Amino acid sequence: MLKNKNILITDATHFVGKPGASVLIREGATVFAQDASFVDENARLAFSELVPGVTPLAEQDPEEVLKAVLAIAGHLDVLVNNDAYPAIRASIDEADIEDFRNTLDALLVRGFTYAKYVAAHMKKRGSGKIIFISSAVPKHGLPNYSMYVAARGGANALAVTLAKELGKSGIQVNSLAPNFIESPTYFPKELLENEETLKKITKPIPLGRLGKPEEAGEYLAFLSSDKSDYITGQVLYFAGGWA
Residues known to be catalytic: 148
Q: How many CB atoms lie within 10 A of CB 220?
A: 27
Give, as one character, the DSSP assignment of residue 210. P
Exposure of 46 in the CB half-sphere (CA atoms within 13 A): 10
Q: Which contacts qualify for 116-119: CB closer than 8 Å, 24 or more apart?
A: 116/62, 117/62, 117/63, 117/66, 118/8, 118/66, 118/76, 118/79, 119/162, 119/166, 119/169, 119/171
Query: Whole-angstrom Cα distance, residue 9 to residue 179?
Result: 19
Phi, psi of 177 (to 5 degrees): -115, 90
Q: Is the dihedral of CA 225, 231, 233, 236 positive or negative?
A: negative
